Each structure stands twice: as structure tokens, then as C-alpha cells.
Structure 1
Amino acid sequence: MLLHLSARFDPQRDAASWLAGQFLAAAPRGADADNLLESLETLHIVNVERNGNIIYTLKGIWGHTSIGLYDPNSKTNEHLYTFEKDLHVISCSVNNEKTLLAVSFLQSTEEARTDLLFQPVSKCLTLLIEICPVNDVKVLKAVDSRIRVQFLYPVAEAHAFPESCLLLISEDKYVEKFDIRVVKEGHAAVIENSSHLLKEKIADDFIWIQWDTLEQRLFYIVPKGSRDILNCVQFYPDKSFTLILEVPLEISLTDTGLKLVNLDYDYYQRQETGPQPLNLQVFTSEKGCMCLCHCMAPVNPGEVSYSVFFLHKGCGKTYTVALERMDSLQVKDLLFLNLDYYVAVFLPGHFLHLVNTQYPDLMCCNFFLTGEDAKINGLHKSAIVSPLKSVVLDLSTGRMFTLEISKQALLQFLWNSKLDGDRMATLHCLLLHVGSTTESETEIIKWISENISTCFTFDPIQEFIIASLYWRMCPEAVNLDKHLPYTSLVCWNELIPGITCTTHIISLPVLKVQNCKGFWGKLISILECVKYDESHVRFNSKVLWREWEKLHLKKRTEVKGITTYMATVFEYAKKVHSNFNTWRTEGRLVPLFKDEDDQQQLLTGLMAVQLKDHLMRHLPYVSKKRIEEIAVDYVSKLLDLTYRIMENVWKKYNLDSWVFSLGQRGTSNEILVFHFMCRMLHAASGMCLPLPPGFHTLHTGLGVRCLPLYTLLLYIDQGVLHLTETCILKLLKELDNTEKKEKLKLGTLTRLPEAISNKIGQLPNHPVGSTTVVRNYVKLLFEKLRNKWPNMLLVDRSSAQIEFLPLNYLVTILTEVDHQGQVASVERGTVNVRLVEEVALKHTTMLLGL
């Protein structure tokens, strides 16, 4: 099971012992433990406040109705008030200071006629009670329609507020706000001027309403002309409020009965039969996402359809699921649960769909689970509400749970998944919810090393590096998440078995208030990005590719003016490498050489420079110094992740004590590591990602040990292996002069890049001491010369003297130079290759008249 429930409030665990003490103190004679258990069965939660406090009612055997409060932080219970009669409490709320209690309850007509306290006689009474201590009771409403009550809580709770604000939400479709000032009279908290409370209308004529407990927002839908309009009122700590959002909806809603979300804890009313109200909810996340979820009436039997409108992205998706069987569960049992980054769509016994709210364009970021994977710890009751993010409440049992995505279940699901979509969703979820930690990344790398060849629609190495970098770097700066790539994929066209999806464009919401902070500021920022092409907003490897090619072209053609820019690029490469701390003397497992690979240095510095420039264009309010730090840190962490992958693969194949030596043949484990490094190189090349210094030297060294000569040279020709100066020097120094090794050295020498060839040729003590290598090397040079000057083919080849002229001149020149003492003798193994090459070619071309 991917989702795990942990009890946040259990009456038996959290309230029974405290209630036992209260019961024994107030119970009449003859009451026993059975009476207490009977009372516990009547415990029902009637509200969950913003601070997490749980308000519940309990009916005693002596006909009383008590209201208690459980604080999950201190794990203590508190008695708030007791009615000396059996009441059906509809709604209840306590203010932040616990001085006032608002209660709305139903009373039978017979009871009301005999009770003079609650006059006039009405079906529903709403009371405001002073409880610090109990001083007075004020009737706020006496009507026949049901009333819900909710105190506003300040978002900032640094100090207590002398004024309390109370919302009254009526089923007659209006919302009022009461401003209540509390004054101290001795040890008592008393309502000031209780007969003239300030009252203000917030909304009316709505067909649906939802209270956002955590963020203190009121969403409601009103019909306006031919369209339904979603409104949002934001309440602030200073008692003010603002109609901050109006969004025309792309769906037509039928008024089948008022639906109250996060305001309706009345378990008994939920059991009543009749037309089902709208199954619709709005969810927001701390990243600025806003989604509207709607379950539609079934069109075809055996199917269920629901829509998720991503208001922050200007798109909506309608999902249709064919049910394998029909049972007592109906569409009304479909639950929408807020998991912040995900919206969980749960139909007990059938499926669980986790919709990624940040990236709705890629279906592979969603989970669609059936069978055992779709169960939630036996949660199957229809009387389920979700008062807070990642919290579910079972009204039938009075138990409240925290809903979490299980890390162990995610890892198990990753290993067991056969579909690329499930693997992608799990990988991102692990990095997002569990966090991009060393432990989680190690587990993912283990999975990658075992399954790298089983993924067909994405490269797991690319996706791990890009996604891990994204979740690591997002907290570094505001809005940075909108400008970094979060996936290696451009699009996803694969279908998810068991579900069909259609996408439609919707209008972007327009906020009525600008210059907002917090959630609304983030939403505005997202909407601004959506208005423009996101491919230009996010850092793109295609741009890096273009700059990389330009830089190579300029470097080859030596265009003027490139010196300063190149110097800047290499300077950033030095910053990245100094920040990339893999050169520690202790604990370094992979034997990377700290060699100077110009190509990788160039790419490393270029990526840092390009990322810096990109962020400076899109984050003008962040200082240049901070952006430079972010760019260098990003590339450094990229190199670190690559090294971490190599390190874990090194451990897996027991190469802990591996010594870089080219004179021995590779083991079976080394062959496996070599091919894994080939996949790493392919992944990096595909997204123009730099590799750690020494990667190519180590990779080529493994190739020398593990590949036959023909295959090795083919890999070099096709660009799989990149020759470096360090590798060539070790190759020429460590290999002996056997015929097989001579062919290997000759093959690599003739394939050297020009820059490296020039460096090696100019070394005076270069360890090329074999006349065989020298002769073959010069022979190949002359073959290239004949290809360059076809007139050489006109030379009469019948003469052995002319046919072997280069080699004859080579031996002659070597002898003359050796006698002159300009270089050491050939047998001692130090020949100036560049000098030999120049002299031999000069004399030969003179003789041939070229």
C-alpha cells in the first residue's frame, strides 16, 4: 500500500483515560465501566481548528451532552462546556484564546416548548458562550435552517488578539461575519456590548462553499448568467478580508443541494437519503498550485469520470475509469484528498489515483493504482472528510488519521514496477516527499544499476540527475523552481492502463488584488510564466548545445575576440571543480585522475556561465553574486551526483581496491562497470551534461583492459571513448613492446585529437622508445600525406628505394640525430617524436620534389 494511515486521534487511545476520570467524578451512583464504554461510542468529532485542536461531543448516560477539546501537540484533553440535555450538535468552534465557544445544534419541538431558555422556538439554535469561566450564553441565531459556525484564527499567532471573528454559514445560502470583542473582568473573559455585535455579510446565493482551515480562505460558487463563478475570500489577521479571486468555470453545475466542504461534520445528516450534492473541492499547495476537482454524474454504467482543473496552468483533464465490478459503492463514495503536491482520487475497493498538481502535462508523474496497491489501510467508510492537508477523518468512528506516502512502499513499488510511467512517478515522488537525501539517492542508484536496460521511454540516469538536482536546488531561491528543468523528458505519449484522459484548455484566473504575498504571490508568478512559452523560461539543454557548438567552432577557427569569453568560461570551471569536493585523500573510492580535460572543462564552465545568464534574465530581484553561487552550486552538485553513481556502482561490483593499471586484462566485474560507464556517457551526452574530471581517463583505461583491440579502436572512432593526455601517457609508459601492445599504442597515437597530439609530440622525454612504433607512426603519416597530395601516387613504385623512402630516411635521420647528441638513443626509450616527424617529412618532400 502506497499510502499509509497513522492515527492522529483515536478516542480509545487519546480520550478514554481522561474521560474515565471525568465520568467517575460526575457519574451517578451505580455507573460502571460499561456505561463509560457506552458513552465513548457516542463520541463524534464536530470540528478541527486551524491549530490542529479537535473538538468533539460526548453524550453521557445521564442525558448530558459534553463538548471537549483534544490538543494533538500536548496530547491533552480539556472540557469546554456541558449541556444538561441530549442535543444533536451540528457545528462547534472555539476561538484561539479559548474564551468563547460557538455551538449550533438541533432541538426537537417538544423539548423547546418546555425550555424557556432557548426562545423563540426554532429547529436550529446557534449560541455564543463565554467559557473562561462560564459566564453567559448569547443566542446568535434561532432559525429552521442549519447553521455552521467557525471562528477565524490569525495566521500569525505571535500574540493574542482581543477581538474574535466568527463566521456563520447558513444553509439558506449566506455567510455572515461577527466581530466580538472580549474584555477582562477580574478572572473572567466577558463579551463587550454583547447585545450589539458588529455583523457583516460576506457572501450569499451560492450553491457550493468550502472552508480552507489552514489558510483561512472561503471558496464559494455562485451562478452568474449562463456561467458559474468560483470566488475566494481571503481573511487576514487584522480582521480584514478581501474578495481576491473570481474564476469563470468551464463546467455547468446543477444545484442539487448545498454542499459544504470542511464545514459539515454532521455524521447523522450524511446518513440521510436524498439528492447527492456536488462532489467538488478546491485544493491549494504551498508552491502556488490551485486545483478544482469535480466528480461528474456517470454517463455509462460501470464507469466513473472526474475532472481536475489546474487553474494555475490554464488546463483541465478529465479522467474516465472503467470499473471491473459494480457493488454498493457509488460515485458519491469517490474521495478527493489533498496531499499538497498530489491530489489523491480514491474510490475504495477500486482505484487510487495520485495526480501531480505541479506538472499536469506529464501523465508519467501520476500514480494510478489498483488492487492491493490502491488500498489505504482498510479505509473504506463513506463518511470520510479531509479537514486539513494530508488528514482524513472517519466520522463513523471518530478517528482521525494522518495520510502519508510510505517511503518503504515507494521503494518496493519502484523495484516491482514494470511500466515506465510508474517508475517515473515513483522516482519523482521519492525525491519530492522523502527528500533528496543521501539515503534515498543511494537506493535509487541501486535500482538504476539493476534496471538501466529495462527503461524504454526515458533514461533513468538522466532523469535521476535532473530530478534530483531540481528538488535539491528549489529551496535555494524564490521562484527558482520555475527556471530549472525538472525532467529529462520533452513529452510523454504513453497511455496508462485502466484510465483514459482528455485535456482541455481553460481560462487563466485573474486575481482582483495584485502585489500579493505568500500563496497568492506564488500563484501570480506561476500565471505569469504560463502566459509565456515555458520552454524559454526553463533552462534548456538545447541552448547549451548551440553555445557549445559555437564555442568549438570559434576555438577551431581561432576567431578574434573569443579570448575573454573563453577565460571567463574556464574561470567558472575552476570554481565548479573547487566546489566539487571529490579530491579528498580519505574515502575516495573511484580512482579518478585530476587531469585537465579541456573539453570537459569547457563544458563545465559553459554550463555554469549559461545557467548564470539565464537566471539573471528571469530573476532580476536576486543579486548577481547569489545567482553566480547558485549556478556554480548547481553544476557542482551535478558532478557530485555523477560521482555518487560511479561510487555506488564501484561498491556493487566490489572494485573497492581497484588499481588503475593498463597492463592487465579486465575481470568480468570490470567489464560490467565499463559498460555502465558507457551508459553514463550516453546519458550525459544526450543532455549536454559535463562529467567529473578524470571520467574519460578512467573510462578509456577500463576499455583498454576489457575490450579487444579492434573493438577498442572502433569505440574510439565512434566517440564512445575519448582519449585524454593522462591516459595516453600511462598507455605509452606502462605497456611493453610486444607486437600486440605496439599495435595498441600505434592505434591510439594515430587517433589522438590535434591538441593532445601537439602536446605529446613536443615532450622531450616522451616515453616512445620503440622503433616499431616510430616507423609505423611515420608510415601512417605519409599515407595521410599521399591522400593530401595525390601527385605522390605518380611516383614509380617499382623502386624499393623510393617505395620505402620515408622509412629509409627515418632511420638515417635517427642515426644522424643520435650521433649529434640532440636526443637520447632509441634503445633508451626517449625520442622527440615531433623532431623526428618534422625532419623525416622535410627530407622526404624535398627528395620527391613536393
Structure 2
Amino acid sequence: MLLQRSAHFDPQRDVGPWLSEQAALRGDAEADILGSNLETLRTVNVERNGNIIYTWKGNQAHTCIGLYEPSSQKNQHLYTFEKDLHMISCSVNSEKTLLAVSFLQSTTEERANLLFPPVSKCLTLLIEIHPVNNVKVLKAVDSWIRVQFVYPVADTFASPASYLLLISEDKYIEKIDIKVVREGDSVMIENASQLSRQRIVDDIFWAQWDMLEQTLFYIASKESRDTLYCIQFYPDKNFKLILETPLDINLDDIGLKSVNLDFNCSQDQEMISKPLNIQVFTSETGCLCICCNLVPASPEEVTYSVSFLHKGYSKIYTITLERGDSSEVKDLTFLNLDYYVAVYLPGHFLHLLNTRHPDLMCYNFFLTGGNAKINSLHTNALLSPLKSMVLDRGTGSIFTIAINRQALLQFLWNSKSDNDRLAALHCLLLHIGSTKELETQIIQWIIENAATCFTFDPIQELLIASLYWRMCLKDSKLDSVLPYTPLLYWNEDIPGIVCRTHIISLPVLKVQKCKGFWEKLGSSLECSRCFDPHMCFNSKLLRLERDKLLSDERTEERTIYTESMLENAKKVFSSLNKWNTEENMVPLFQEEDYQQRLLTGLMVAQLKDHLTRHLQHVGKKQIDQIAVDYVSKSLDLICLIMENVWKKYGLGPWIFSCRQEGRLDEMVVFCIMCQILQATSGMCMPLPPGFHTLHIALGIRCLPLHALLHYIDHGVLHLTEKCVMKLLKELDNTEKNEKLKLSILIRLPEAIGRKVSQLWNHPVSTNSIARNYVKLLLEKLSNKQYSMLVMESLSPQIEFLPLNYLVNMLAEVESQGWMTSVAQENMNARCVEELALKHTTLLLGL
């Protein structure tokens, strides 16, 4: 199972022993107060600090209230009612001095038997519990009341007052300010008869309390349109309306529905309203989502919507159930897993919807069967009071829900569809975290499965996602300017699921200069409003600039800009982790690759320009370091891939020899290096120096000549000076080797050809030297403004006038001593004349 459940609070484990111990210590006389009937134990609230409030029935049907602190694993008895009460809601302030409770005064059966039933069904009390003292009646009404103390967002803030919210099913919310006075160890309510009350909002029909953020979301009608509002409570600033946004779904006025304020599973049937299954979820990264269960078009379908308010669009999902028994289908359960929203229909499906990157469906999990289970949670009585936590209201147990890393890796290995694979890769690299250990495990999967991925490149996914994770850990502002995926779009269908996307209005933040979640949400909204497809760094401009610079290199034009690119590359290589593989197994960084150095420096420069353009608040020095780190880490990842490939196929401390034929393992490594080259070329990313030499060395050993030349001609293999020099030195001039050398030499770039041609004692090599000699002379002549000589000194045997002119010019140049710089080539004008004459007669057929 992909989701792992672990018990955070288990009444049997965490409360049972304490109840038994207290009952034994106090004796039978007190057993009814601290009874041990665990079957009646129910969880009624979870406060912001994690404290859990629960109730249980004593031996004489007394209703007891207790508190469990997970941090200390201790229990505390708060209060006891000498009646069997149906508890609706309960909350304790952060100092644990005041207790607010709301309960039904009697059950339906009891009211039917009473001669004089109570005037009101629901009673709301405020109780002093430190020590147990006065009781204040806050409400005595027929409608249900939920109570909730407001906790300071900053735990260090000490307030002399407590703030209590009353949420009424009469569709209003009220705040009560409670001031206390201390007398020794006692805490008492100050002026209890005249508590300050303030009506916060009226005419609402849905409310949700966000325990961690201390915010109250509610839905009310505004100008005939349902609108979502949010109020932020402050310890020292009272409260403020902080968010307003119209909803893209029409909701009927069906009576108040409260979320995270109602922990009861079995309610009085007279008080139950028609269900409105809608929830708001926030995340630490500034994501804000609304989930709503919609009415499906047919009984065989389930329809729900998720509005990604921070992105400005909503998605409506329609799922065709594998089993058409609609009698089993109940309301969906929405769970907040922070990075994901879980949509759970036990026995049918589990969907994990990516809240941070919701635009591409391939980064969502759509699970059925065994993967769509959360251990033994098969009930619809689930609640998500805190992030990544689930309350089973039937048992009172609270569980933490997390994605199991090992199960996710196994899911990746077992998946056959590209959608499942992409979802798993994204979750592993960007949610669980791209550590070196995890990257190594993913690389092992890539080595085995890259060839079976048809709609995406897993190597590209690894590189981009890992870089995004590593860089955004340092600065969260980079998440909008660095790509998290190489995919531009995804249009593959997922069987059984139809998704429709709608553009919605972005929320309006009513308060400026917010902190915490609201600051991150504001940043996300600003990015959505100013969305520009060019905000994320891409390789188009980089590719154009690279081609231009390489063109300059062919003409040997050295510019200041080119030199600055090479300086950037030096910074990258100096900051690159010293890649000391075991016994130097992978022979990288053994040479200077001019083209890769140029591309490395160019990528740094392009990144600097991109970041400066979009992150104007970041200083130049920091931007320079970010750009160098990004490119350095990309090279580091490629080295990590190569190391794992080398280990898997046991190549050991590999030494390139042209005389030996390659093994089967070397051929497999060659193919994987082709995949790495294809992935990086597609994104115009640099490779570590030495990669091309290693690649073509494997190609020479493993490929037949025609295949080798085909790979070179199509740009898969790149000829390097080091490889060609080794080839010319090691191989003798047999017919087979001569054919290989000739084929390689005629394909060499001119800059490399000038250096290596003299190593081979062969007419073709001599011809190459002569060509280079003439070119160098002509360049020098153009600089010296050499005046051409007359033809009087030409040999009478040569009748090809252009050749006569060339030989005359060369002889004059040589006589002036201009060729000392090329004396090592053992070439003179007469030799050039003979070679030129020979080739001329062959061309003319003489």
C-alpha cells in the first residue's frame, strides 16, 4: 500500500492503562468518576498544540472529560458531569485553565419519557478547571453549538485573555473575550456576568476551522453568488477578514455544515442536515484548495471538483467505477496530505492530487485495487483535523498518514504505464526529497527501464526535478523561475477518468504584508497573475547562443564574451564536487573539452540573465552563486549516473585500448551513454569533460565501422583530440586499421585535424599537413600585405598556372624565413609543389 498509516493516538494504548491505574489508586468510591469503560471513549477535539480532548462514561454513566498530551504522553482529567450526556463539542484554552463544552441535555428516548422535558436541547458552558470552580452558561438553545478556543499563532505570546468561538447551527459565529484573574494557583473568570461578545458573521451555511493556521473559513452568499471568506485570528490584533473569493460551484442553502468543529460520528437524527461535502485545504508552500463532492450524472460514476485557488483554475474529475453497485457508494473522504490532497472512496479508488504542481495530470496518482487502500481504514467516518492526520470518528483513534518511500519505489518498479511512473518519480524527487541515496535508487530503475518509457525521458526528469529540489531548498523564491519538469504538456488519457479544467477568479487578499502561510499564498497568487511562459528557464535561447559561439570558434574569432564564458566554466569546475570514484572507475575530467567548457559557461551566463530579470530583489553576488551551483549540480548528477552504470556492469578501472574488441557489457554501457547524450542534448545541458572521449572510445571498441561512422555523421558520437591521438598511435597500418583511420581523419574538425594529422605517417596525413601549411601562409600573407611575385622563376615543366602561382608565392615566403613556427612539420615549398602537382594531374586525368 502506497499510504502508510501509523497510530498517533490510540485510546486503548494511550488512555486505557492510565484510566485503570487511576481507578485502582482512588478505590471503588471514585471508580465511577475515572471509570475504565473504553468502549465509550470518544475523541471530541484536537487543539493546535496537538493536545487531544476525549470523553468517556464512568461506571454510573457519568460523562468524564480528559486530555492527552502527545509530547509528554501524559493524560489529565479535566472535568466530570454526573450525567450521561451527548457531548457535541469541547475545547480547552492553551493554559488549560478554562473548558468550554456543548452537549445535548438528554437523548431522544429520555426526552420522550420525561414529564417535563428541558426548555432547551443544547447547553453550552464555560467552566473554570484550574482548579474546578465556577460554571458559566453561555448558551441554552435548541440548535447545536460548536465551541473552539483560539490559540495564539505564536506560542510564546502570553495573553491575559482567552478567546472563544461559538459556531451556531442558526448560521452565525460569535466570539467571546474571557479575561481571567489569578489568585495564587487559582484562575478565575473576571466579571463572568458581563463577558464581551461580538458577532463575527451571520447567514453562513458552511464553516471550517483551520487548527494550525488559526483561521476560520466560511461560505456565505454575496450578490446571489456563493463566496468563500476567511478570517485570521491574532493573539494581539483580534481578527481580520483576510480572504474573499467567489466559488465556481453552486451550493444550495442546506443548513450549517461544520468541518473540524464536529468530531462526533453519531448525531441526533433530528439535528442532521443534508450533507455538504466540501473542505478547504492549505499547505505550507502556500497552496489553497477547495474540494467538493458533486452530484454525478449516473449511479456508476463519482464526480468531484478541486479548485486550486492559488493557480486560478479548477478541475472536475468524473470517475467511472469498476463495480457498478451504487448502493455501496458513500460520500468521498478528502484528506490533507500537505503536498497532496487525497480523495478516498474505500473499496474503489484513492486519488492523490498534486497541489503544488497540479497543471499536468501525469503527476497525480490515480490508484485502484490494492494500491488504493489505507491499511484498515474502510469507513466513511474519517476526518482530517490536522495536516497528514486522520481521525476515525468511529473509534476515536488518530492516525498519521504518509507516503511510504519503499512502497513508492516498489510501485515505480512495478508500474507499466508512463502516468504512474511519472507520478512516482515526481513524488520521490520533489516530495520525499532528492537525496543522493534516493537518486541512486532511481538511477538503478532508469538503467533497467529507460527504454520502455515512451512519453517522457526519465533521465531528463531526474536531472530537472533533482536540480529543482536542491536549489529550492536554499531559496523558495526559485520555485517560480526554475523548471520542475522537462515536460511542456501531457495529453495522454487515463482509463476511467475524465478531467475538465475551468478558469476561475483568483482570491483577493484583504490584508497586505502578511506573514506565514498568507505571505506564501500571496507570492503564489502574484506568480499566477503575472504568469509568463518565459518565467521558467528553458534551453531555446541557450541553444541559439551556443550555435553562434561554436560558429565563431570555427572561424577562430576570439571575443571577450567567449573568454568570459570560459571563465564561468572555471568557476563551475572549481565548485564541482571532487568526483573521486572508487579507484577512478569512470575516467571523467581527464581532459579539457572546449565545446563542453563553452556550453558550461554559457549556461551559467544565461541563468544569471534569467534570474536577474525575474528576481530583482536578489543581489548580483547571490545570483552568480545560484547559477554556478545549478550548473555544477547538473554535472554532479551526470557523474552519479555514470558511476552507477559503471558499477552495475562491472567495468572496473576502465582503460581505453583500441586494439581490443568491446565486451557485451561495454556495448550496454555505450547504449546508456547514448541515452544520457540524447537527454542532455534535448535540454542543451553540458556534459562533464571526458564524456565524449569515453563515449567514442566505447563506440570504436563495440561498433562495426559502418555503424561507427553513421553515429559520427549524425552527431551521436563526437570526435575528440584525445581519442583520435590514441587511435593513431596504437593501431598499425593494416588494411582494416588504415580504413578506420582514413574514415576518422576526413571527419575531424579542422582544429583537431591540424594537431593530430602529423602523428600518422601516411600520404593522406601528409596531404593534410600541406593543406594546413598553405592556409597558415596565406593568413600570414594577408596580415603582411605581401606583394605577389611575377612568374619568371617558375619551373618550365609545370604548365598549370594556378599551381605555378602558388608555388612561386610559397618559395618567396619560405625564403624570407616566415615559417619557423611550423618547422617541426618537416615541410617545405618543394614538397608542397610535388603534392599539389600530383593531385592536380589526378584531377585533370593527365
Q: Identify whether the pair has TM-score above 0.5, normalized to the shorter chain.
A: yes
Residue among 394, 415, 418 paired with 2:416: 418
Q: Distance in 2 between matches of 1:608 and 1:175?
A: 56
Alignment of 1:403-442 (within 5 A): 403-442=401-440
Instruction: State the 1:593 CA deviation.
Output: 3.9
Q: Distance in 2 between matches of 1:760 and 1:28?
A: 101
Q: Secondary structure at the match of 2:193?
A: coil
The alignment status of 1:23 with 2:19, answered yes or no, reads no
Alignment of 1:679-694 (within 5 A): 679-694=675-690
The 8 Å contact of residues 87 and 105 in structure 1, kept in 2 or not, is answered as yes
Q: Distance in 2 between matches of 1:170 and 1:120?
A: 19
The 8 Å contact of residues 230 and 247 in structure 1, kept in 2 or not, is answered as yes
The alignment status of 1:645 with 2:641, answered yes or no, reads yes
Specify the alignment match of 1:767 in structure 2. 759
Q: Distance in 1 between matches of 2:830 and 2:574?
A: 43
Change (3 A) 1:834 1:524: farther
**Cα offsets for 1:585-615 (capped at 9, x unmatched):** 8653311143111111111111111111111
The 8 Å contact of residues 98 and 132 in structure 1, kept in 2 or not, is answered as yes
Give percent identity, aligned residues only.
63
Residue among 724, 740, 744 paired with 2:740: 744
Q: Secondary structure at the match of 1:536?
A: coil
Q: Distance in 2 between matches of 1:672 and 1:744?
A: 23
Q: Secondary structure at the match of 1:85?
A: coil
The aligned amino acid for 1:608 is: V
Residue among 627, 631, 652 paired with 1:631: 627
Instruction: State the 1:759 CA deviation.
Output: 3.9
Specify the alignment match of 1:792 in structure 2. none
Specify the alignment match of 2:667 in structure 1. 671
The 8 Å contact of residues 346 and 373 in structure 2, kept in 1 or not, is answered as yes
**Cα offsets for 1:114-172 (capped at 9, x unmatched):** 99xxx994211111111111121111111111111111111211243322111111111
**Cα offsets for 1:731-766 (capped at 9, x unmatched):** 2222233332222222222211122223445xxxx5
The aligned amino acid for 1:7 is: A
Specify the alignment match of 2:787 in structure 1. none
Q: Distance in 2 between matches of 1:547 and 1:774?
A: 34
Change (3 A) 1:668 1:108: same
Residue among 193, 197, 200 paired with 1:199: 197
**Cα offsets for 1:169-192 (capped at 9, x unmatched):** 111111111122222101111222
The 8 Å contact of residues 306 and 319 in structure 1, kept in 2 or not, is answered as yes
Specify the alignment match of 1:11 in structure 2. 11
The 8 Å contact of residues 593 and 698 in structure 1, kept in 2 or not, is answered as no
Change (3 A) 1:161 1:660: farther
Specify the alignment match of 1:827 in structure 2. none
Q: Distance in 1 between matches of 2:832 and 2:705?
A: 29
The 8 Å contact of residues 550 and 595 in structure 2, kept in 1 or not, is answered as no
Change (3 A) 1:504 1:429: same
Q: Distance in 1 between matches of 2:233 and 2:554?
A: 63
**Cα offsets for 1:526-563 (capped at 9, x unmatched):** 2222223432111111222222233334444567xx72
With the length of structure 1 as denominator, give the TM-score of the two structures.
Answer: 0.89
Specify the alignment match of 1:795 in structure 2. none
Q: Distance in 1 between matches of 2:38 and 2:569?
A: 68
Specify the alignment match of 2:594 in structure 1. 598
With the length of structure 2 as denominator, give the TM-score of the two structures.
Answer: 0.89
Q: Distance in 2 between matches of 1:30 and 1:611?
A: 73
Change (3 A) 1:323 1:210: same
Specify the alignment match of 1:564 in structure 2. 560
Specify the alignment match of 2:2 in structure 1. 2
Instruction: State the 1:60 CA deviation.
Output: 0.9
Instruction: State the 1:356 CA deviation.
Output: 0.7
Specify the alignment match of 1:464 in structure 2. 462
Change (3 A) 1:481 1:750: same
Instruction: State the 1:225 CA deviation.
Output: 2.4
Q: Distance in 2 between matches of 1:654 and 1:356?
A: 39
Residue among 287, 290, 295 paired with 2:285: 287
- Which is worse superposed, 268-277 or 523-532? 268-277
Q: Secondary structure at the match of 2:759?
A: coil
Q: Distance in 1 between matches of 2:587 and 2:626?
A: 28
Q: Secondary structure at the match of 1:691?
A: coil
Change (3 A) 1:189 1:842: farther
Change (3 A) 1:758 1:196: farther
Q: Distance in 1 between matches of 2:415 and 2:325?
A: 29
Change (3 A) 1:589 1:520: same
Q: Distance in 2 between matches of 1:112 and 1:187?
A: 41
Q: State the number of aligned residues.
A: 805
Q: Distance in 2 between matches of 1:295 and 1:501?
A: 14
Q: Distance in 2 between matches of 1:544 and 1:334?
A: 48
The aligned amino acid for 2:591 is: D
Q: Secondary structure at the match of 2:533?
A: helix
- Which is worse superposed, 209-218 or 503-512? 503-512
Q: Secondary structure at the match of 1:745?
A: helix
Q: Secondary structure at the match of 2:534?
A: helix
- Which is worse superposed, 833-842 or 206-215? 833-842
Residue among 606, 609, 613 paired with 2:605: 609
The aligned amino acid for 2:701 is: R
Instruction: State the 1:5 CA deviation.
Output: 0.7
Specify the alignment match of 2:784 in structure 1. none
Q: Secondary structure at the match of 2:584?
A: coil
Q: Distance in 2 between matches of 1:112 and 1:193?
A: 35
Q: Distance in 2 between matches of 1:398 and 1:211?
A: 19
Specify the alignment match of 1:337 in structure 2. 335
The 8 Å contact of residues 265 and 393 in structure 2, kept in 1 or not, is answered as yes
Q: Distance in 1 between matches of 2:169 and 2:472?
A: 44
The alignment status of 1:51 with 2:42, answered yes or no, reads no
Residue among 617, 626, 650 paired with 1:621: 617
Q: Secondary structure at the match of 1:418?
A: coil
The alignment status of 1:103 with 2:134, answered yes or no, reads no
The 8 Å contact of residues 392 and 403 in structure 1, kept in 2 or not, is answered as yes
Instruction: State the 1:195 CA deviation.
Output: 1.9
The 8 Å contact of residues 582 and 588 in structure 1, kept in 2 or not, is answered as no
- Which is worse superposed, 509-518 or 308-317? 509-518
The 8 Å contact of residues 62 and 82 in structure 2, kept in 1 or not, is answered as yes
Q: Distance in 2 between matches of 1:841 and 1:271?
A: 108
Specify the alignment match of 1:443 in structure 2. 441
Change (3 A) 1:802 1:82: farther
Q: Distance in 2 between matches of 1:453 and 1:696?
A: 21
The aligned amino acid for 2:255 is: G
The aligned amino acid for 2:222 is: K
Q: Distance in 2 between matches of 1:686 and 1:73?
A: 51
- Which is worse superposed, 688-697 or 739-748? 739-748
Alignment of 1:504-583 (within 5 A): 504-556=502-554, 563-583=559-579
Change (3 A) 1:840 1:140: farther
Residue among 244, 248, 251 paired with 1:246: 244
The aligned amino acid for 1:767 is: L
Q: Distance in 1 between matches of 2:567 and 2:106?
A: 82
**Cα offsets for 1:648-668 (capped at 9, x unmatched):** 111111112322322211110
Instruction: State the 1:515 CA deviation.
Output: 2.3
The aligned amino acid for 1:378 is: S
Q: Distance in 2 between matches of 1:487 and 1:836?
A: 56
**Cα offsets for 1:801-850 (capped at 9, x unmatched):** 999xx9xx99xx9xxx9xxxx99xxxxxxx98955498644555579699
Instruction: State the 1:513 CA deviation.
Output: 1.8
The alignment status of 1:397 with 2:388, answered yes or no, reads no
Instruction: State the 1:482 CA deviation.
Output: 0.7
The alignment status of 1:321 with 2:327, answered yes or no, reads no
CA RMSD of aligned residues (A): 3.3
**Gaps in structure 2 of 5+ consecutive residues:** 776-797
The aligned amino acid for 2:138 is: L
Residue among 169, 172, 177 paired with 1:171: 169
